[in-house]
Copies of this chain bind each other. A is one copy, B any other.
Amino acid sequence: MCDVVKSNFDSLYPQIEKSLKSAAFIAIDSEFSGLISNSKFKRSLFDSGKENYLKMKHGIEQFIIFQFGLSVYHFNRERNEYAADIYNFYIFPHSFGSVDHKFLCQSSSWEFLCRYNFDFNMVAYKGISYLNNQQEKIIRKEFQENSCILNDAENLQAKKIIQEECSKILEWCLTAKINDSTYVDLNGIDFRLEYFLHKEIRRRFKQVWTYSEVLKIRIVMLSEEEVSKLETTHGRKLEETLLRNLLGFSKIFKLLVDLKKPIIGHNCFLDFMIAYNQFYAPLPTSYDVFKKNIHFLFPHVFDTKFMSYEVRRILMKEDKKVTVWPGNSLVELYEYFRDSKPLVSHIPKIIINDGIKEPAVEKRVHHACWDAYMTGFCFIYLAHFKAVENLGRNAISRPLSRTEHLAGVALYENCVNLMRCNIPFINFSGKDPPSNRPKSLHVRRKDLKAVDIYEITELLSSFGSVDVKSDGQGGALVAAARNSVYFDILWFYKGNEEFRIVPYFPLAHSRVIKSVLWSGIAISSGLVLTYLLSILRTSS
């Protein structure tokens, strides 16, 4: 496990790049600054995929990823072994020029991170920079216009350092001869201040040129002619270096995009949305455009939460008494696979490359890199089981290749779990599935008074996850997350004295439709049908 921060990012980058390039698949996870910016963006079981996306878009646009975990899995066929390189990136949006990020935080999310010993100082002091495409464009424009100035009024410290260094150089200049050199010590100096030091020295002293060296700037006295030649040939290098530093983690994001490797997450819709917004471009207002773009960027996505539901269903179907994992949370799934006997034989061995001992789950859960590791771990178990299952559980008894593992779960590719939505998952690569949620229930009071939505929610929540909204006519509509909840409610309220709860049929429950049906006004039947259909469409 390796913490990647701004001070070691450049030196680790080649190693990370190499690891990613040779990966069988890459598991990811992220820790966010917040989850829901406003209760009006709370998702509901009534929401379509599109409504869910738009609510989330508005709800999360200002949140950022504080920590990004990569667990890069490599397969060794001979040893039937997956080995993981694990990287934990701390991320912080650095300000520069007119780009000064504002990011939203949520109390409960910080409290959540605190419960798992998250280090906020690592984010603030050591976080790697990033820019999305839009921010990169702004900074490139400011470079072209030469309008990047150290304009932060509060940044007196930086101005003082520049002034002091320039004074020293001025003194040195008085006696220096051509090819003499001196140094500015960069210890404790940030890459942005380094840039401004170079710029200011070159601006003030027309007979010197500055060179970047490890932790210092070398200043060499040259003829004005040579300086002017260097200005033409190397003048823009400073900006390139600075931009590379500002892009920081966005380079990793771009690399993931370029490599088109399978990306594995657990319940990772939010991870993809926030990462897209933060490292790539502002989220599109169109759901379809988002789906198209995310699929273009990451054509092979797997969600172990979705897979966990699906594989569990297969197992339960085959044998109702089988002991499967107790729930579909990452920890439950991981602990099940780690501690139980494998479902099928020849499961690959899984190791961590740098030979460190895995810390206890309690110590590492909700640290992005460990969650990514556990996600990849579960993916291997689920994919191996499904691959064996597809090939015929008894027909085959040998280790499988990584291609066979991926082929085994091809059916689940690009299906990402959705929480609180009327469809169970989003399909990044095509049409979303039809809703598998139970139909809505309709509630009204037997005394015909208007129902209290709050009361109904409280009453029915005891049966399981439900969402309640007004039917606009004094009654309420109820969406239940599962069939069991739906039938429990129906059964329990059969013959109830206070409430009448029945399956919802728009035709039967809409007063408007009723009045049309019984009005007896002569309208051609075609018109009535069109009208009814339009009502049905908006009320479904």
Point out residues on A near B: beta carbons under 8 Å. 33-34, 37-39, 62, 92-95, 98, 100-108, 110-115, 118-121, 123-125, 147, 152, 154-155, 157, 458
Contacts and interface: CB of A to CB of B under 8 A. Distances in A.
Contacts of A113: 124
B105 A103 contact: yes
Given A38-B102, A100-B108, A120-B123, 6 more contacts: A34-B102, A39-B98, A101-B106, A101-B107, A105-B105, A119-B121
A101 B157 CA distance: 33
B115 A94 contact: no
15 contacts: A33-B105, A62-B104, A92-B107, A92-B110, A94-B111, A95-B106, A100-B106, A103-B104, A103-B105, A108-B152, A108-B154, A110-B124, A118-B124, A120-B124, A121-B121
A54 to B, nearest CB: 19
Question: Shortest 9 CB-CB distances between A and B: which pairs?
Answer: A95-B107, A120-B120, A95-B108, A101-B107, A93-B107, A100-B108, A120-B124, A102-B106, A120-B121
A7 B213 CA distance: 48
- Quick one: copies of this chain in the complex? 2
Nearest to A35: B154
A107 B110 CA distance: 17
A102 B152 contact: no
A367 to B, nearest CB: 15
Contacts of A37: 102
Contacts of A111: 94-95
Contacts of A100: 106-108
A104 B102 contact: yes
A382 to B, nearest CB: 22
Contact of A115 (B39, B92, B102, B157): B157
A39 B34 CA distance: 23
A99 to B, nearest CB: 8
A152 B98 CA distance: 38
Contacts of A152: 108, 112
A399 B98 CA distance: 52
Contacts of A92: 107, 110
Contacts of A102: 34, 37-38, 104-107
Contacts of A94: 107, 111
Contacts of A115: 157
A398 B345 CA distance: 95
A436 B407 CA distance: 76
| Centre residue among A111, A147, A458 by max chain B CB count within 10 A | A111
Contacts of A39: 98
A36 to B, nearest CB: 8
A105 B33 CA distance: 10
Contacts of A104: 62, 102-105
A317 to B, nearest CB: 28
A217 to B, nearest CB: 20
Contacts of A106: 95, 100-102
